[in-house]
Amino acid sequence: MASCFKGQEESLALALINKANYCQSHPGHYYCQLISAFASKKKFPGKVFIEANSEKEAKDSLEGLTTVMAESVKQVDYQLYGSIF
């Protein structure tokens, strides 16, 4: 989970997915090992959920994006999973 500016949740999730797709087709330019990203701005305003293999990979995928606070990346607690989905 990463914090971003309110109102930018969906555009940030889309930017992350586009960056991951670009990195798959152009290996060596950027590093972005991302599985998925989504936002639920009504339920969790200012939050974007990133699925990656590790917290470091999630932080690395946010590099270069200006609407997110990369230092705010943290792993989601298991108790929160039910309310996310």
Give me the tens of pLDDT residue by residue for the chain, a chain 85 residues long.
888 888 888 998 998 888 888 887 877 766 677 888 888 888 889 889 888 888 888 888 888 888 887 677 888 877 776 777 6
Listed by start position, the domains of the chain span 2-84
Is residue 4 within 8 Å of residue 45, measured between CB atoms? Answer: no
User: Mind giving me the DSSP string for 44-76?
Assistant: STTEEEEE-SSHHHHHHHTTT-SSEEGGG--PP
Architecture of the domain whose range is 2-84: 2-Layer Sandwich (3.30)
> How does strand 68-69 pair with strand 47-51?
unpaired
pTM over 0.85: no
Instruction: Supply the pLDDT for residue 31.
Output: 65
Instruction: Supply the pLDDT for residue 56.
Output: 83
Instruction: Supply the pLDDT for residue 30.
Output: 63
